[in-house]
Amino acid sequence: MTTTRAGGPTSRAIPGQAGPRNSRLTPFPLGRVGPRGLLWLQSLHFLSLSNNFTGALSPDLTRLNSLRIVNLSNNALSGRVPDEFFRKCGSLRSMSLTNNAFNGELPPSLRSCASLAYLNF
């Protein structure tokens, strides 16, 4: 497994560090780059962004199609979980969204996540 610990003003500081398999990124100063700063990590399997950001859940994270485990707990995320968030979740097996300020119901697209075995909301 390759573990990448990022720091500095941009995610470009470590291009190519997340290998094609078993790659992991935690912790990450997301506030400095925003979710779009992660899009170059197309083969990322594990993403933990606990205690990193506030506001709405960015649909940009859905473009990381290889994610298997996502931990977005203990943030100040608010609003609804966007329906497009679960549209491309073929690899997703585990997701934690606990201790945020979401409202509303989970989106209908969650039904398309056949491999999702664990969801903590």
- Label residue 89 by pLDDT band (50, 70, 90): confident
Which residues, at least 6 apart from 104, have a Cβ–Cβ distance to it below 8 Å?
79, 80, 81
Q: What are phi and psi of 30, to 5 degrees?
A: -60, -30
* Cβ proximity of 111 and 88 under 8 Å: no
Domain locations along the chain: 21-32+39-120
The pLDDT assigned to 26 comes to 53
Stated as kind and residue range, the H or E segment containing 119 is strand 118-120
Smallest Cα–Cα separation from 49: which of 67, 68, 27? 27
Whether the model pTM is above 0.85: no
Amino acid at 28: F
Q: Is the pLDDT of residue 5 over 50?
A: no
Residue pLDDT, tens place only, 40-61: 677 889 988 888 778 888 878 8
Superfamily of domain 21-32+39-120: Ribonuclease Inhibitor (3.80.10.10)
The set of residues, in sequence order, having a beta carbon less than 8 Å from that of 100 and lying 6+ positions away, is 72, 73, 74, 75, 76, 77, 78
